[in-house]
């Protein structure tokens, strides 16, 4: 079972580890404005900014709105940010969790096994009275070698199969799951057989993740028990990464992410929609 401190970190502990940690700011909003503006206004000391859309994902297309990045492109981005194979990384976002979770997942997928999310993100850091700066660091080049495969991944075929043979969690809001509304993608509905458990249910006030015990109970409520294969999807693989992080905290280390998610699923009109 995953140890909670291996996955998330509290602001006070991170403050004591800053000199030995690569910190990455991935503040992001669906539809903007750009997180780089937030970074320019103030960020954690030593933090570098990476754009979730352009630095950590591939270009949108048949693979969905936020597909996997090209490994070579990702390696160049991470090395420029100073990411080193033997040095821990902490990622943070606006406090809601999905952007940081997708960055966490991408780094873990690329082969870096010492990555944590700042629980509560930038707001939690500020609320703790910890220092903020506008100084932009010039990190020494990193040495990470991107080796894809560090995290379980689902493609469309595997996601459809998992919905019938295991538990596939649709983490979007219930009205989107039911197909009553669809504010982003051109087709409404969900993958047949998927269960709905919105990722917003996994956090407490302030964006902090619930305890491992509480998360285990919530996942068990939709059939996720030890030994049951589980995966998650959303609109484009961002908020679903947050659910994968929560699943890991609950002890389900084999939880898979359908990166293309709904935005890829609907590119093939032969795929069924419920």
Active-site positions read 234
271: left (phi over 0), alpha (psi -120 to 50) or beta: beta
Quick one: DSSP state of residue 150? S
Contacts with 32 (C-beta within 8 Å, 6 or more apart), sequence order? none
The span from the CA of 71 to the CA of 206, in Å, is 34
User: What is the torsion angle, in degrees rounded to the nearest 10, for the CA atoms of residue 163, residue 63, residue 70 and residue 108?
Assistant: -30
Distances 171 to 174, 219, 240, 246 between C-alpha atoms, Å: 8, 12, 6, 12
Q: Which of 196, 197, 176 is nearest to 188 (CA)?
A: 176
Torsion angle of alpha carbons 105, 107, 113, 117, nearest 10°? -60
Beta bridge partners of 22: 89
Please report how many Cα atoms fall inside a 13 Å half-sphere around the Cα of residue 232, on the Cβ side.
31
Signed CA dihedral, 60, 65, 71, 73: sign only: positive
């Amino acid at each position: 079972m995953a140890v909670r401190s291996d996955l998330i970190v509290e602001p006070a502990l991170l403050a004591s580890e800053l000199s030995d940690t690569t910190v990455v700011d991935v503040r992001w909003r669906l539809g903007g404005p750009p997180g780089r503006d937030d970074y320019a206004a103030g960020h954690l000391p030593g933090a570098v900014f990476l754009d979730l859309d352009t630095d950590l994902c591939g270009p949108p297309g048949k693979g969905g709105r936020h597909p996997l990045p090209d490994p070579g492109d990702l390696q160049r981005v991470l090395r420029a940010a100073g990411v080193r194979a033997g040095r821990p990384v902490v990622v943070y976002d606006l406090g809601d969790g999905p952007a940081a979770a997708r960055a966490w997942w991408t780094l873990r997928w690329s082969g870096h096994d010492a990555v944590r999310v700042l629980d509560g993100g930038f707001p939690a850091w500020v609320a703790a009275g910890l220092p903020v700066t506008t100084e932009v660091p010039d990190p020494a080049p990193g040495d990470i070698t991107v080796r894809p495969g560090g995290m379980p991944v689902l493609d469309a075929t595997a996601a459809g199969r998992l919905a019938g043979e295991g538990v596939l969690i649709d983490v979007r809001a219930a009205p989107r799951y039911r197909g009553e509304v669809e504010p982003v993608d051109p087709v409404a509905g969900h993958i047949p057989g998927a269960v709905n458990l919105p990722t917003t249910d996994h956090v407490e006030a302030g964006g902090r993740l619930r305890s491992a015990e509480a998360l285990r109970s919530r996942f068990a409520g939709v059939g996720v028990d030890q030994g049951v294969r589980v995966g998650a999807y959303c609109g484009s693989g961002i908020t679903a990464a947050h659910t994968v992080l929560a699943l890991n905290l609950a002890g389900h280390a084999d939880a898979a992410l359908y990166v293309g998610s709904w935005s890829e699923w609907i590119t093939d009109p032969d795929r069924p929609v419920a």
